[in-house]
Amino acid sequence: MLIRRGPAALATVLLGASLTVAAAPAQASTGGVFPPLKKNLISYYDFEHPVPGDPSREADRGRSGTTIDLVNGGAAMRVRDGARRHAIQLKQVDPSAKGNDDWKAGIYSATGVPSLRAFNAAKGATLMGWFKMTGTNPSPNTVTANPDDKYNAIGLSGLLTGDSDGHGVRALLEIIDVSGTLRVVALGRRVDGSKSQTFAASEDWQSVLPQNTWVHLAATFDYDTGQMALYKNGAPLPGFYTVAGDPWGVEGEPEPDVTSATDPRGIKIGGSFPQNNLERNPCNCRMDGLMFLDRALTPKEAALQYKFARK
């Protein structure tokens, strides 16, 4: 079912409006969550809940109990940051050499992560959280020989596809190059191995995410209608789609349209390849309150969740 409007029309509308068995959620309580959303909150990381005896891993406060790894930095990645209490620090460690030492987070399994099955044959998803740029972004590209090259993306948070190598995503909130300009984007893929669609914010990314300032971002994905949206501090971010037509293949039968019937291979935070065999698109930043929901929030819900997230 394709209901997505064209770029201009949508901008106008927005202006107006290591794998282990999943542990139990860290707490039954999910403070800071708009109550009607709790049943859809699959994973939630506030970085106040290290796994007992292993501070290099973070327990999940969402329904799935999907523990994530704090890759390369371990417990040192946990930082205090004023009103945010503990947050996670991500960063490029060595900008001059190719390696696998960047600080990032996530989980990966080549056979899929069963605890993330809510995103198997899903009609929608929402990714959101708090983000604070703390260094120079984008980072030097350690894959190329040219010392002046920089990565064309800055990794925030993503849900991997069922066939991902650690980079390919089903849902992604990130800063990427769009026709030569870095932009905050929601990037989604409905069918594993098929085409993606990107909804890019019109506003300059450094205006969306000013240095040393906590900003709440959300990206929503409706795999049945083909619609995506971005929100900053609860308000819609006007933007545009980068791919014309129907890249998700949602027109016609069967209905409703859902994602591939595969378990996501994991979650990536602050850069790709959470299995730590490669490094790409690091983020010199801090994050907190990262949420992964199994449906697309409405504009009203995004605004209300922002209010609850501030508590």
Using one digit for the tens of pLDDT, what is the confidence trace for 121-160?
999 999 999 999 999 999 999 988 888 899 999 999 999 9
pLDDT at residue number 27:
38
pLDDT at residue number 84:
76
pLDDT at residue number 256:
97
> What tokens were used for 201?
């914010």
Residue 300 has pLDDT above 60, yes or no: yes
Query: What's the chain's length in residues?
Result: 311
Residue 23 has pLDDT above 80, yes or no: no
Q: Contact 187/172 with Cβ under 8 angstroms?
A: yes
pLDDT at residue number 21:
38
pLDDT at residue number 82:
74
SS3 annotation, the chain:
CCCCCCHHHHHHHHHHCCCCCCCCCCCCCCCCCCHHHHHHEEEEECCCCEECCEEEEECCCCCCCCCEEEECCHHHHEEECHHHCEEEEEECCCCCCCCCCCEEEEEECCCCCHHHHHHCCCCEEEEEEEEEECCCCCCECCCCCCCCCECCEEEEEEEECCCCCCCCEEEEEEEEEECCEEEEEEEEECCCCCCEEEEEECCCHHHHCCECCCEEEEEEEECCCCEEEEEECCEECCEEECCCCCCCCCCCCCCCCCCCCCCCCEEEECCCCCCCCCCCCCCCEEEEEEEEECCCCCHHHHHHHHHHHCC
In sequence order, what are the beta bridge partners of 150? 140
Contacts 24+ apart (CB under 8 A), 179-182: 179/242, 182/138, 182/152, 182/153, 182/154
Name the pLDDT band for 52 (thresholds 50, 70, 90): very high
The whole-number average pLDDT for the span 195-201 is 99
For the chain, the distance separating the N- and C-terminal CA atoms, rounded to the nearest angstrom, is 37
Residue listed under structure tokens 């859809």: 40
Instruction: Decide the pairing of beta strands 285-293 and 50-51.
Output: unpaired
The type of residue at 84 is R
Where is average pLDDT lowest: 84-88, 119-123, 194-198?
A: 84-88
Where is average pLDDT lowest: 135-144, 190-199, 219-228, 231-240?
A: 135-144
Residue 202 has pLDDT above 80, yes or no: yes
State the architecture of 7-19+107-309 in CATH terms. Answer: Sandwich (2.60)
Where is average pLDDT lowest: 27-31, 166-170, 197-201, 283-287?
A: 27-31
Domain boundaries, the chain: 7-19+107-309
Average pLDDT score over the chain: 92
Name the pLDDT band for 4 (thresholds 50, 70, 90): low
What is the rounded CA–CA span in Å between residue 121 and residue 62?
Answer: 19
Residue 33 has pLDDT above 80, yes or no: yes
Residue 310 has pLDDT above 60, yes or no: yes
State the number of CA atoms in the 13 A half-sphere of 189 facing the CB. Answer: 22
pLDDT at residue number 1:
62
Q: In this prediction, what percent of the chain has a pLDDT beyond 90?
A: 85
- 231, 196, 66, 59: CA torsion to nearest 10: -40
pLDDT at residue number 236:
99
Q: In this prediction, what percent of the chain has a pLDDT beyond 70?
A: 90
Residue 37 has pLDDT above 60, yes or no: yes
What is the rounded CA–CA span in Å between residue 85 and residue 79?
Answer: 8
User: Buried b / exposed e across 185-219, counting CB within 10 Å, b at 16+?
Assistant: bbbbbbbbeeebbbbbbbbebeebbeeeebebbbb
pLDDT at residue number 12:
38
What is the rounded CA–CA span in Å between residue 12 and residue 180?
Answer: 24
Using one digit for the tens of pLDDT, what is the confidence trace for 237-247?
999 999 999 99
Name the pLDDT band for 97 (thresholds 50, 70, 90): confident
Residue 3 has pLDDT above 70, yes or no: no
Compute CA 182 distance to the chain's CA centroid, rounded to the nearest angstrom: 17
Q: What is the value of pTM for the model shown?
A: 0.91
The whole-number average pLDDT for the span 96-124 is 97
